[in-house]
Amino acid sequence: MRLTKTFIGAGLVAALALTGCSGPTSSPTPEGGAALTIAKPDGAIATESNNPWVGDSSANKLGYKNVVFEPLAMVNAVGDNETTPWLAETVEWNDDYTVLTVTPRSGVTWNDGEDFTADDIVFSYDLIRNTPALDTGNLQLTDIVKDGENVVLTFAESKFVKQAQVLHIPMVPEHIWADVADPTTETNPDPVGTGPYTLDSFSSQSVTLQARDDYWGGDLAVPTLYYVSYNDNTALTTALANGDADWAQAFIPNVKSAFVDKDPEHNVFWAANVLAPDVLFLNHQEKPFNDLAFREAVNIVIDRAAHTEIAREKAGPELSSVTGLPTPVGEQYIAPQYEGEEFAMDVDGARGILEDAGYTWASDALIDPDGEPVSFTLEVPQGWNDYVTGISLIADQVKETLGADAKVNTPDADTWWANKRSGNFDAIMHWTDGGTTPYDLYSDTMDGRWLLAGDEVDFNFGRYENPRATELLNTYATAATDEERTAALEEIQTIFVEDVPVIPVGTHPVLGEYNTRNYVGWPSEDDQYATADPVQVTVPLILTKLTPAE
């Protein structure tokens, strides 16, 4: 029976978590059988819930659900975007990605000793289909049946661009969850999963999990995992630097001096580039960004190298492709006409575009064709330091090069969030979703279907309207052949480059910090089999690849 209070070792970890104080410095030599401490900066987790479906459960917030519950397959957000079968031995889509056929992996058991079967797959997906509150990915699953040894899932529309959302659903045991009255409120105090670790103890500051000795994926090098919730990012950074924490995902200011240089032989920071840039969403309904000429001009006076160096503190490479796709992960999707075409500052070119469009200058101030001074405000929430620095740099660059009156405003997050959804802004910096195809980048920024929601939208915040772009995005998502998808994507990128619906600014990588003192085999820039984020679904893959350091 698992404990509900931590034993003294985990209690020490919890105490360090609360104070951010240094514990004993890790030995410079590898420690056989050492535990791994996985850190988050979220403060105390008041209530235990091991429900893998509920977003605010402790299992989700800390991320330990991923070492208890596993998916059918893992889709890599970096590298070659490959799919690795996991609880499924095989994963096969039909040509238009509306039918998925999976073969359950043999020899897999739940941590209570029961066999994992096709019935568990059917049950898990039926649970999602029959509980709309849990269907956060809008799977649109219309049918799921057993076909011999296989399970066949049928969807109402193509899932080509949403393969990860389908395949990353955590499997739960039918023999446990069939008796759950309400899966949206179930706390699941004794979680039963197929994953490599089992829950041992829980407190409001730390959670302890122990490795299974009967895991289907083989022996595990790491015997114990501690998930620790530090009070804030400063405490987390201190813990990483002095060796009290081993693995985290956090934006650390001055990460080289604050973390890497504390033990340069072993401390690693990796910003994994994914298909999700930061962009400026522009209000297409109002001046000045309803004018293509002005959008074009601003696009080519932004110093993206400075953004990477100063705002992002080199947390990821510079965004270089005019398609907005981060590289190298996006190179495979860049249309031939844009291969090698990169952003470059061109102040003379920008001023020439404006002159040709009827803009003038009065005492260095930019005047639009209607005779009015050009002004606009860039907005992000206060406290989002990298974003605040980013828009401040852009405002200064536009003032100095074009003469527009560019202001910066940092409202509270709630106000900013409401304004972005309602379109009450001139320009905001914002991320895009990071899928395993370019679809999310271009849909989030150009797709007219977001506007069907009414006055408040969840993307395409600038209200960009281009029926052809919307049509092409639908074609890309639903096409039955690679040829159709490729043709649609090439035209989508042409619209994106030529019409400037948003202004791409920088990469938005998935960050990860870890050390190699006791274990090696981590994902890295040279081995991109997964990101280094310890709260992602790919964590079991990482833990099965770790081996003791020599």
CA–CA separation, 54 and 322 (whole Å): 39
Note the pLDDT of residue 80.
85
Q: Give the mean pLDDT of 486-495.
A: 98
Q: Give the mean pLDDT of 158-177.
A: 95
**Please, are residues 509 and 534 in contact by the beta-carbon 8 Å criterion?**
no
Number of DSSP helices (H) and strands (E) in the chain, helices first: 16, 22
Q: Give the mean pLDDT of 172-197.
A: 97
Same domain as 407, residue 388: yes
Contacts of 94 (CB under 8 A, 6+ apart): 101
Q: Give the mean pLDDT of 497-502.
A: 98
Note the pLDDT of residue 486.
96
Contacts of 452 (CB under 8 A, 6+ apart): none
CA–CA separation, 348 and 356 (whole Å): 12
The pLDDT > 70 percentage for the chain reads 95
Is it the case that residue 62 has pLDDT exceeding 70?
yes
Q: Give the mean pLDDT of 470-499.
A: 95
Contacts of 482 (CB under 8 A, 6+ apart): none
User: Is residue 187 included in any domain, yes or no?
Assistant: no
Closest CA to 206 of 407, 36, 427: 36
| Partners of residue 115 on adjacent β-strands | 109
- The burial of 298, by beta-carbon neighbours within 10 Å (0-12 exposed, 13-18 middle, 19 or more buried), is given as buried
The amino acid that residue 446 corresponds to is M
User: Is residue 323 included in any domain, yes or no?
Assistant: yes
Q: Which residue has the higher pLDDT, 215 or 232?
A: 215
pLDDT bucket at 222, cuts 50 / 70 / 90: very high
322-351: burial string, b at 16+ Cβ within 10 Å, e else: bbbbbbebbeebbbeebeeeebeeeeeebb
**CATH number of the domain where residue 451 is located:** 3.10.105.10
Query: What are the tokens at 530?
Result: 């997964």
Note the pLDDT of residue 21.
37
The amino acid that residue 172 corresponds to is V
Q: Give the mean pLDDT of 151-164.
A: 95
Report CA torsion sign: 435, 440, 442, 445: negative
Q: What is the pLDDT of residues 119-130, one digit of tens each?
A: 999 999 999 999
Contacts of 144 (CB under 8 A, 6+ apart): 121, 122, 125, 126, 129, 151, 152, 153, 154
Q: Give the mean pLDDT of 61-75.
A: 96
Q: Please name the residue ranges forming H helices in 263-384.
A: 292-299, 304-306, 347-356
Q: What is the pLDDT of residues 230-243, one digit of tens each?
A: 988 889 999 999 99
Residue positions counted in the chain: 550
Same domain as 144, residue 56: no
In this structure, what DSSP letter does residue 376 have?
Answer: E
User: Is residue 31 included in any domain, yes or no?
Assistant: yes
Note the pLDDT of residue 316.
81
Q: What is the pLDDT of residues 17-42, one digit of tens each?
A: 333 333 334 445 777 789 999 999 88
- The burial of 547, by beta-carbon neighbours within 10 Å (0-12 exposed, 13-18 middle, 19 or more buried), is given as exposed
| Partners of residue 277 on adjacent β-strands | 507
CA–CA separation, 283 and 426 (whole Å): 5
The structure's pTM equals 0.83
CA distance readout (Å), 108 to 2, 188, 438, 476, 536: 22, 21, 35, 37, 21
Q: Which residue has the higher pLDDT, 517 or 315?
A: 517
Type and span of the H or E element at 84: strand 83-85
Note the pLDDT of residue 492.
98
Q: Give the mean pLDDT of 468-497.
A: 95
Note the pLDDT of residue 26.
43
> Residue 366: left if φ>0, alpha if ψ -120 to 50, beta else—which one?
beta
Looking from the CA of 187 toward its CB, the CA atoms found within 13 Å total 5
Q: Which of 128, 148, 177 is the last residue of a domain?
A: 177
Q: Give the mean pLDDT of 176-195.
A: 96
SS3 labels along 195-246: CCEEEEEECCCEEEEEECCCCCCCCCCCCEEEEEECCCHHHHHHHHHHCCCC
User: Is residue 397 included in any domain, yes or no?
Assistant: yes
Q: Give the mean pLDDT of 429-442.
A: 92
pLDDT bucket at 201, cuts 50 / 70 / 90: very high
Same domain as 292, residue 266: no
User: Is residue 356 included in any domain, yes or no?
Assistant: yes
CA–CA separation, 332 and 339 (whole Å): 10
Closest CA to 536 of 7, 66, 190, 39: 66
**CATH number of the domain where residue 239 is located:** 3.40.190.10
CA–CA separation, 257 and 267 (whole Å): 11
Note the pLDDT of residue 251.
84
Q: Which residue has the higher pLDDT, 295 or 17?
A: 295
Same domain as 490, residue 385: yes
Q: What is the pLDDT of residues 87-110, one digit of tens each?
A: 999 999 999 999 999 999 999 999
Closest CA to 510 of 308, 274, 312, 318: 274
Same domain as 517, residue 501: no
Same domain as 228, residue 369: no
In this structure, what DSSP letter does residue 5 have?
Answer: S
288 preceded by a cis bond (ω within 30 of 0): yes
Same domain as 501, residue 474: yes
The amino acid that residue 474 corresponds to is N
Q: Give the mean pLDDT of 487-516.
A: 97
Note the pLDDT of residue 138.
83
Same domain as 380, residue 263: no
Same domain as 314, residue 420: yes
Same domain as 27, residue 120: no
pLDDT bucket at 434, cuts 50 / 70 / 90: confident
Same domain as 448, residue 311: yes
User: Is residue 3 included in any domain, yes or no?
Assistant: no
DSSP 388-454: HHHHHHHHHHHHHHH--EEEEE---HHHHHHHHHHT--SEEEEE----SSTHHHHHHHH-GGGGGG-
Note the pLDDT of residue 28.
57
Q: If you average pLDDT over every residue of the chain, what do you get?
A: 92
CA–CA separation, 167 and 469 (whole Å): 28
CA–CA separation, 305 and 394 (whole Å): 12
User: Is residue 185 included in any domain, yes or no?
Assistant: no
Note the pLDDT of residue 2.
40
The pLDDT > 90 percentage for the chain reads 81
Q: Which residue has the higher pLDDT, 9 or 448?
A: 448
Same domain as 285, residue 266: no
User: Is residue 1 included in any domain, yes or no?
Assistant: no
328 preceded by a cis bond (ω within 30 of 0): yes
Q: Domain total for the chain?
A: 3
pLDDT bucket at 204, cuts 50 / 70 / 90: confident
* CA gyration radius, the chain: 25
Give residue 103's domain range.
73-177
In the three-class reduction of DSSP (H, G, I as helix; E, B as strand; rest coil), residue 339 is classed as coil
Query: What are the tokens at 529?
Result: 């089999």
**CATH number of the domain where residue 169 is located:** 3.90.76.10
Q: Which of 177, 210, 228 is the last residue of a domain?
A: 177
